[in-house]
Amino acid sequence: MRIGKSWRLALLAGLTVYLVVGAAQPAQAMHIMEGYLPPGWAIFWWVVFLPFLVWGGYALERITRQVPETKLLLALAGAFAFGLSALKLPSVTGSCSHPTGMGLGAILFGPGVMAVLGGLVLLFQALLLAHGGLTTLGANGVAMAVVGPLVAAGVYRVVMRLSRRQRLAVFLAAALADLVTYVVTSVQLALAFPVGGFGAAFAKFAAIFALTQVPLAVSEGLLTVLVWNWLQTYSRSELASLALREEGA
């Protein structure tokens, strides 16, 4: 008996969440851990993050109303981000390195929707897996759920316009979204702890992150291409409804 496309998507999303939650262990941080930022900076990044959540809420409502058949793809994008961002490696004190999983959803639905999905991922990980925290969710949200998706969506469109090579566009979008997330995190940490000046602090944080984040970004880009190929095979109609039919080799 053949399994329908919708059931394949639901099965993949559910399996991803099950494997991550079932194998999860307590972690020191998710980008920046609970209580690590001074209160003023924690509040500042929350203020920056909130307007993007409102924007994302409108974008999410519009997509689910206009193309309701893509709701399972939304669930898949959220599960993909949750699964990848739960895989962490210790990095700068008070933080960790890991993939973000934001590129796939940003390509499919745009950066606004990923502000909401990324915020939910960060919230669930803070509450259920002890990754990150509520006070630092604003800072982590700006880095992972706002700037990362904006870069992913922009890179995808530019590469597609210049080369029409879709798999290359997907790879670069996912990899660069991962890298820029940790550039922003380095900026946030350097602003909060400018030991030796902002420039010196940023260079220190960014250099340490780079040791783990560069190979992780490349790996995330390759994995995202594999998932994209899978979607092209089994969810072509849903991609077509999002105007993302394959446009290049």
- pLDDT tens for residues 136-172? 999 999 999 999 999 999 999 999 999 889 999 999 9
**Is the pLDDT assigned to residue 23 strictly greater than 50?**
no
Residue 89 confidence (pLDDT) above 80: no
User: Does the structure show a pLDDT above 90 at 35?
Assistant: no
Q: Show Cβ contacts of residue 106 under 8 Å, excluding neighbours closer than 6 positions.
A: 114, 148, 149, 150, 152, 153, 156, 173, 177
The one-letter amino acid at 242: L
Tokens of 220: 């995330």
Please give the structure tokens belonging to residue 78.
């959220």
Identify the pLDDT of residue 51.
97
| Calpha distance 10→96 (Å, rounded) | 30
pLDDT of residue 68: 86
| Separation of alpha carbons 31 and 100, rounded Å | 10
What's the CATH number of domain 28-241, 1.10.1760.20, 3.40.190.10, 3.40.640.10, 3.30.720.120? Answer: 1.10.1760.20
State the alpha helices, DSSP H only, in 67-99. 71-85
C-beta of residue 123 within 8 angstroms of C-beta of residue 64: no
Of 171, 161, 166, 172, the residue nearest 248 (C-alpha): 166
Please report where in the chains the tokens 């909401």 appear, as a residue. Answer: 116
User: If we measure between CA atoms, which residue out of 102, 109, 106, 113 comes closest to residue 143?
Assistant: 102
Please report where in the chains the tokens 């399996």 appear, as a residue. Answer: 15
Q: What are phi and psi of 188, to 5 degrees?
A: -60, -45
193-209 pLDDT per residue, tens: 998 999 999 998 888 87
225-233: average pLDDT:
92
Sketch the domain layout of the chain as residue ranges: 28-241
pTM: 0.81
φ, ψ for residue 49, nearest 5 deg: -75, -35
Question: How much is the pLDDT for 245?
Answer: 40
